[in-house]
Amino acid sequence: MRLRNVRGSEEIISAHPFTIQTDGADAEQFKGNWQKEIFGNFNPIHLEIGMGKGQFLIKMAALHPEINFIGIEKYSSVLVRAVEKLDALKLGNIRFLRMDAEDLEDFFSAGEIEKIYLNFSDPWPKVRHAKRRLTSAHFLEKYEYILVKNGLIQFKTDNRPLFDFSLEQLEKTGWYQEEVSFHLHENGPAENNVMTEYEEKFYRSGNPICRFLARKPN
């Protein structure tokens, strides 16, 4: 899908106090310092990779002030919409990063993240692009590094082939499948679940939403 360029998005993002630019940044200044130096507390950190326009993460931050939330988005034209949403709220427990998930280990130390959210990630349907899927063994290795002991991944998608692939990758790499649902909202909106923009759209259309919760290998 071609992204529409938003004029001035990079300037808005770079000027926002809760958005961290990673281009040209010294990654070492962030590793191991997110709690004390960035958030100013020692609350657990939850990370959303591919946060899109930010609806999910901002709602989670509002519901859980006892948790620090970090959202990663690769594209400025998308991230700027999350910044605009955040400006209407007073939330100190959220930060945004414009970066590629390939660089996770450069910006986060081992065992620094408690939970990772992957919401409606790009399915990369071609076989030759399987490594790019955010639930591939390639990325699960990165998550295993930055997650705490017994850390969690929560993944949601409407793409059944991607979900099946993801479950296979979990089994292949030794992750523990805590919860698996092939139709999360079969009996109405699931309890204790915050919907993304895509999820709301798919729910109204009756599309089954798949979700798993997986625990890091020992």
Structure tokens belonging to residue 193: 């679940």
Torsion of CA 12, 17, 21, 24, to 10 degrees: 110
Listed in sequence order, the residues at least 6 apart from 53 whose beta carbon sits closer than 8 Å to its beta carbon are 78, 81, 82, 85, 197
Q: Which residues, 6 or more positions from 61, have their beta carbon under 8 angstroms from its beta carbon?
A: 67, 69, 91, 93, 94
Active-site position among 103, 122, 158, 164: 122
List the one residue out of 180, 179, 175 whose CA is nearest residue 143: 175
Is 122 among the catalytic positions?
Answer: yes
- HEC states along 3-19? CCCCCCHHHHHHHCCCE
Q: Kindly report the three-state secondary structure assignment for every residue of 104-126.
A: HHHHCCCCCEEEEEEECCCCCCC
Positive or negative, the CA dihedral 199, 66, 90, 20 is negative
> What is the Cα–Cα distance from 133 to 118, expressed in whole angstroms?
11
- Annotated catalytic residues are 122
